[in-house]
Amino acid sequence: MTPSSTTTARTDVLGARLLGSRQRALLAVASITGVLVFWGVFTSAGWVDRVLLPSPQEVFRSLLDSVRDGSLLRHVAASLLRVLEGFAIALAAAVPLGIAMGVSRVVRGILEPLLELLRPIPPIALIPLAILWFGIDELSKVLIIAYGAFFPILLNTMAGFREVDLVHVRAARALGAKRHHIFRDVVLRSAFPFIVVGARVGMGMAFIVLVAAELIASSAGLGFLISDARYNFRTDQMFLGMAMIGLLGFALNKALLEVERRLLKWKSP
């Protein structure tokens, strides 16, 4: 623990001044614009087959079309709903289980070998089986997404319980805390940052599994948009689908970072 300092000029580890948020925004706009311009020049020069690589204008046009006919919103909504459902199930299962395993050696001893065997199996490998068991509809996809998000949340939650500092437990006991107070005010609080990080990693995993599941079997969603475009040689729609997946993933991660920042205000000086 080091005392916090309230220096105004923030510097990196080598002592160089960090960029302000305006400068950083400027650089971000410049780099993205640069890539778009390069892409535009590259395609309009006719060096590549336009069917294989559409121009940015074409992708933009297909964005406008799909916004107008409502299909984009439908796909985004379908994907978002799935990922959130799967994530919520994972959270509801992994956090209590991680707490139980963190608190009880018996529970841990029973479940750990099983989980260690399951853990190396990539969720994507379970998609065919899930389709057989739970059908081709929503349920199989949501469950596979939940499965993907489950392990990062569980493992981080368990790790959090190992981080409880004995001196905090002693301090609480000397202030009159009983076991349930210590659990609520020390153990859970100590593990909480880890649970939050686990949730964010789990969300990233949920997103990967979502797209894979949609590519394999679905009738809506951004993954479907991409695989459907393949059959119609609509690379512009594939690019649109990929860009939307990128944006959605970025937004979800940002949202969770913001939740993390608010819940863990005490961590940053």
Q: Where along the sequence are the contacts to other proteins (CB under 8 A)?
A: 1, 3-4, 165, 167-168, 170-177, 181, 185-186, 189, 192, 265-267, 269
State the minimum distance, in angstroms, from the CB of residue 9 to other proteins.
19
State the minimum distance, in angstroms, from the CB of residue 171 to other proteins.
4
The b-or-e profile of 90-119 (16+ CB within 10 A means b, else e) is bbebbbebbbbbbeeeeebeeeeeebeeee
State the minimum distance, in angstroms, from the CB of residue 194 to other proteins.
13
The nearer residue to other proteins, 22 or 178, going by C-beta atoms, is 178
State the minimum distance, in angstroms, from the CB of residue 21 to other proteins.
22
State the minimum distance, in angstroms, from the CB of residue 177 to other proteins.
6
99 Cα distance to chain centroid: 22
The nearer residue to other proteins, 125 or 171, going by C-beta atoms, is 171
The nearer residue to other proteins, 81 or 172, going by C-beta atoms, is 172
The nearer residue to other proteins, 72 or 186, going by C-beta atoms, is 186
- Give bridge partners of residue 17 from the DSSP assignment: 11
Neighbours of 172 (CB within 10 A): 17
Neighbours of 53 (CB within 10 A): 15
Residues 199 and 256: beta-carbon distance below 8 Å: yes
Neighbours of 68 (CB within 10 A): 9
Helices and strands per DSSP (H, E), number in the chain: 11, 0
The nearer residue to other proteins, 74 or 189, going by C-beta atoms, is 189
* Closest C-alpha to 258, from 175, 208, 200, 214: 200
The full length of the chain comes to: 269
Residues 144 and 126: beta-carbon distance below 8 Å: yes
State the minimum distance, in angstroms, from the CB of residue 40 to other proteins.
49
The nearer residue to other proteins, 114 or 175, going by C-beta atoms, is 175
Alpha-carbon distance 207 to 193, whole Å? 22
The nearer residue to other proteins, 17 or 265, going by C-beta atoms, is 265
State the minimum distance, in angstroms, from the CB of residue 178 to other proteins.
8
The nearer residue to other proteins, 3 or 120, going by C-beta atoms, is 3
Residues 179 and 120: beta-carbon distance below 8 Å: no
Tokens 């750990």 locate to: 112
State the minimum distance, in angstroms, from the CB of residue 92 to other proteins.
23
The contacts of residue 158 (CB under 8 Å, 6+ apart) are 98, 101, 102, 108
